[in-house]
Amino acid sequence: MTEPPGRRERKKAATRQKIADAALRLFLERGYDAVGIRDVAAEADVAVTTLFSHFASKEALVFEQDADFEQRLTRAVAERAPDEPLIPLLKREMHALVRHCSTEGAAPVYRMIDGSPALRQYEETMRLRHAEALASAIAADLGQAAATTACRAIARFVIDVHALAREAKDPQAAVDEIFEMIEAAWEAVPPPPRG
Amino acid sequence: MTEPPGRRERKKAATRQKIADAALRLFLERGYDAVGIRDVAAEADVAVTTLFSHFASKEALVFEQDADFEQRLTRAVAERAPDEPLIPLLKREMHALVRHCSTEGAAPVYRMIDGSPALRQYEETMRLRHAEALASAIAADLGQAAATTACRAIARFVIDVHALAREAKDPQAAVDEIFEMIEAAWEAVPPPPRG
DNA sequence: CAACGTAACACTAACCGTTAGGGTTTTGGA
DNA sequence: TCCAAAACCCTAACGGTTAGTGTTACGTTG
């Protein structure tokens, strides 16, 4: 008793996890393209419609946790201390993100993603959404009502770092290198960026 | 002149054009989602399999001409005069590209694209390919064997301009603004960018 | 110029992701 | 206790895409 989440929500979360686990297992075992939605549903012992009530698409099964990891960026901006400069903060978060991708058991997953055009496409679309969210967060941080072109540009550049760094020989060094460029770009914004 | 290709190739090109025309007509008439591949094939009076031998996907029908317009960027870099600075050249090409999208009868098409998630996603993926090609062209232009991280970053930033400018109130001004940032980023690249 | 190889196209039938429609069980609360 | 909603199941279909198998028209070569 006294469980903040009720039994219903726990069961729902369990079902979702069961599906995600089954999917990842099958994908890594036989390859993403060789596994059908019906296979995943059968392995998780749920109906296909149930699967799609938890995940919006086949690709979403792969990016289960990754999604909220990139939300860290926008949250970090929203909650930043007033004396913390914006760009170094973003750089620090991006370092953490890239490190998370390189280490852990994440390697096979990213090899799978790189091997499937559908997954690459989905990943990029997801990043676009994150870039928009980040642009709004930056704009709000600067006291702007809506994201200006400069904000949106910087947000895109920052999000691009993830993809660029992942494909570099030394990802961490790549993050530093690209942020040198971003810092310069940010300081070149015509209207004063630090109002 | 310009008729070295035999009858067979002309017929093939005609078929391709017939399909593209039929598709665009139906899409603008009834909306992209409301028109099926089978409708397009019927309207063009070809088999569905024939349609897919000319176009890789339903989305590709929409971006028929747009694809090679962005190729202009890489070609401009490859053929640039030795005294022409790189970034202003890219800026000029980007201006032309954005102008082309704003004017002409392109407005309804872009409204259609903005209205369909599938088309937006396809467009972004197409841009990624262009960014890779542009990165290679820039690297070659600098005498590098393969595209470095800085080259790939600049290429992405440049390609991003298209999407950012299209959604700005004043697209041409947005191009100028973002290129201010890109110029600064380019000059901040650690190893000397201009040999 | 006659015959052959092949490129372009057609037809059918299916695969696969995704959704609609309609029903059953489980859960939380009145 | 009983109800409304949530979560789930099943079936059937839709729409993009592809495989398999022919058929026709072109270009080439003996």
pLDDT bracket for residue A79 (50, 70, 90):
very high
- Give the mean pLDDT of B143-155: 96
A52 touches strand C (CB under 7 A): yes
Distance B36 CA to C20 C1' (A): 18
User: In this predicted structure, what is the pLDDT of residue A74?
Assistant: 95
A17 touches strand C (CB under 7 A): no
A6 touches strand C (CB under 7 A): yes
Q: How does A8-37 read in b/e, with b if 16+ C-beta sit within 10 Å?
A: eeeeeeebbeebbebbbebbeeeebeebee
User: In this predicted structure, what is the pLDDT of residue B194?
Assistant: 54
Confidence check: pLDDT of A190 > 70: no
Q: Which nucleotide is nearest to B52 (CA to C1')?
A: D17
Specify the residue for token string 């031998």. B53
Three-class SS state of A7: helix
Q: Which residues contact A41 (CB under 8 A, 6 or more apart)?
A: A19, A47, A48, A50, A51
Please state, as a whole number, how many other Cβ atoms lie within 10 Å of the Cβ of residue A115: 12
- Give the mean pLDDT of A96-115: 89
User: In this predicted structure, what is the pLDDT of residue B195?
Assistant: 46
- Give the mean pLDDT of B4-21: 90
User: In this predicted structure, what is the pLDDT of residue A3?
Assistant: 46
Q: pLDDT (tens digit, 9 = 90+) per residue, B38-50?
A: 999 999 999 999 9
Specify the residue for token string 């928009």. A132
Closest among B97, B112, B121 to B171, alpha carbons compared: B97
Asked if B190 and A180 come within 8 Å (Cβ–Cβ), the reply is yes
Q: pLDDT (tens digit, 9 = 90+) per residue, B70-104?
A: 789 999 999 999 999 999 999 999 999 999 888 87
Distance A14 CA to C25 C1' (A): 17
Under 8 Å between Cβ of B62 and B23: yes
pLDDT bracket for residue A114 (50, 70, 90):
very high
Domain residue extents for chain A: 5-56, 66-188
How far is the C-alpha of A81 from the C-alpha of A133, rounded, in Å? 19
Look up residue A190 and give its amino acid.
Answer: P
Asked if A181 and B189 come within 8 Å (Cβ–Cβ), the reply is yes
User: In this predicted structure, what is the pLDDT of residue A2?
Assistant: 38
The four Cα atoms A146, B155, B126, B63 give a dihedral, to 10 degrees, of: 80
User: In this predicted structure, what is the pLDDT of residue B168?
Assistant: 94
Residues B5-56: name the CATH superfamily.
Answer: Homeodomain-like (1.10.10.60)
Under 8 Å between Cβ of A124 and B123: no
How far is the C-alpha of B189 from the C-alpha of A62, rounded, in Å? 35
Size of interface A-B (CB pairs under 8 A): 92
Q: pLDDT (tens digit, 9 = 90+) per residue, A7-47?
A: 888 999 999 999 999 999 999 999 999 999 999 999 999 99
% of chain B residues with pLDDT over 70: 94
pLDDT bracket for residue B8 (50, 70, 90):
confident
User: In this predicted structure, what is the pLDDT of residue A4?
Assistant: 54
Look up residue A133 and give its amino acid.
Answer: A
User: In this predicted structure, what is the pLDDT of residue B51?
Assistant: 98
**Single pTM value for the model:** 0.91
User: In this predicted structure, what is the pLDDT of residue A30?
Assistant: 96
How far is the C-alpha of B42 from the C-alpha of B49, rounded, in Å? 12
CA atoms within 13 A on the CB side of B66: 21
Distance A114 CA to C12 C1' (A): 35
Mutation target for A interface from B166, B178, B183: give the one with most A CBs within 10 A: B178
Indicate the DSSP class of residue B113.
H
User: In this predicted structure, what is the pLDDT of residue B1?
Assistant: 41
How far is the C-alpha of A96 from the C-alpha of A72, rounded, in Å? 10
The four Cα atoms A5, A6, A11, A13 give a dihedral, to 10 degrees, of: -20
Domain B66-188, architecture per CATH: Orthogonal Bundle (1.10)
